[in-house]
Amino acid sequence: MNDFNKILINYFSEEELNKIKKTKLLIIGCGGLGSNIANILIRTGFCNIVLIDFDKVEMKNLNRQIFLPGQCGNKKVFVLKENLLKINSKAKIKAINKKINRENLKKIILKEKPDIVIEAVDNEQTKKLIFEEAIKLNKKVICASGIAGFGDCENIKIKRGKNFVIAGDMIKSIKNFKPLAPKVAAVAAIQADEVLRMVLK
């Protein structure tokens, strides 16, 4: 048991920690949602994580994403991997620097064999693609819809289906409202909590 896992025995039973440790996660998108989700999950004991993104860290991201000014200009997947390993150095983190499409997403899911797919992207078509492909491949998937704006976190909903969860207010997209840290982090926290629920319940 590494030092980080020793911390977690104060919060989980040995059986629960084993379930968490054995779960493989695929996080698609390493921006506002993805970086916050990954930050929460690594601190919750998940240590087998695949990250996918194609973008670079920019100053404009720092209002809501778990990056630092000195990391701007670098690829998000590699920076996030580095940040996560600073929290748990024994974690198995794989970074895939790639823009996904229907063909490569299917290949990645089949190759990586994640237990849970986490959608954390901005583009609505990509969100739909991730949801459809995960369901088609019989994978559990956790998505977000409506993460923008402020002052209305009480409107965040959780919609659960057989193998999926959608969290958000289902209305305010970043097309029409600005993504700000409080609501983005709130939805990310719910997505992370739903991962824990799927694994432990």
43-56 residue pLDDT tens: 999 999 999 999 99
Locate 17 and state its tokens: 């920690």
Instruction: Tell me the CA distances in angstroms from 122 to 28, 55, 110, one per residue in order.
Output: 10, 12, 23
- Rounded to two decimals, the pTM is 0.96
- Cα angle at 132 between 196 and 80, to 5 degrees? 50
pLDDT above 90 for 174: no
Please tell me whether residue 116 adopts helix, strand or coil conformation: strand
Q: What is the mean pLDDT of residues 98-119?
A: 98
Cα of 175 vs its chain's centroid, Å: 21
Residue 165: what pLDDT? 99
* Dihedral sign computed on CA atoms, order 172, 35, 161, 17: negative
Q: Which domains does the chain have, with CATH numbers?
A: 3-200 (3.40.50.720)
Please provide the average confidence, as pLDDT, over all residues in the chain: 97
Query: Residues 163, 138: contact at Cβ < 8 Å?
Result: yes
Residue 1: what pLDDT? 58
Percent of the chain with pLDDT over 90: 95
pLDDT above 70 for 181: yes
Residue 6: what pLDDT? 87
